[in-house]
Amino acid sequence: MGKIFENRVISNNVFWYKTRITKHHRMQLTNQKPCVLWFTGLSGSGKTTIANKVESLLFNNKNLTYLLDGDNIRHGLNRDLGFDEHSRKENIRRVTEVAKLFVDSGLIVLVALISPYRKDREFAKSILEAGEFVEIYIDTPIEVCEQRDVKGLYKKARSGIIKNFTGIDAPYEPPLHPDIHIKTIKMSADDASKSIFSFLVNKGYINVR
């Protein structure tokens, strides 16, 4: 029959084709260690803002990158998904598989998603090779996120217009041991991005050019 995965059957007649050019070859070409920088935090915490700034620093350093933003992904690949727990899980699964392909191509992938459940972030880490998943917790108190409320989402959630909104009527499980912990009430977005860039240099993911 085939292997059952997430209530779907994967045929025994589907095989992984090993290409001649591997991730190792692409690493040599790009002179960087591909990885996923996974930005997690509440809506309005500053995930995408900081990820954007990190990507700009990497771009200026001549590194090859791609930013996968949660809202942008839901305009295309995940446009058919809602915000219930099952849909959130599938959202993470799809984004993770795309990120994995980008890592295989040699890129540094920046993923900015609320990704509220630890088990889903653990899944993302589990399908990548050791050292390829960098969990970045953008730690912003919910009252600060609500004060910002750039998109007006908290107001809608409080009034009941939006259901299953993280931090209001849906849970957020913060990372227990993130690789990088950014407390935005103590650090500006610019300083946070520089700190993350320095981490990548110190850990050997990139070289300063």
Distance CA 113, CA 120 (A): 11
Which tokens sit at 35?
Answer: 């990885």
Phi, psi for 91 (deg, rounded to 5):
-60, -50
Q: Of 45, 56, 87, 115, which residue is the catalytic one?
A: 115
Which tokens sit at 15?
Answer: 């095989």
Residues whose CB falls within 8 Å of the CB of residue 139, separated by 6 or more in sequence, listed in order: 41, 45, 174, 181, 182, 183, 184
Tokens 């070289």 correspond to what residue? 207
Look up 115 and say whether it is catalytic: yes
> Which residues are catalytic, by number?
115
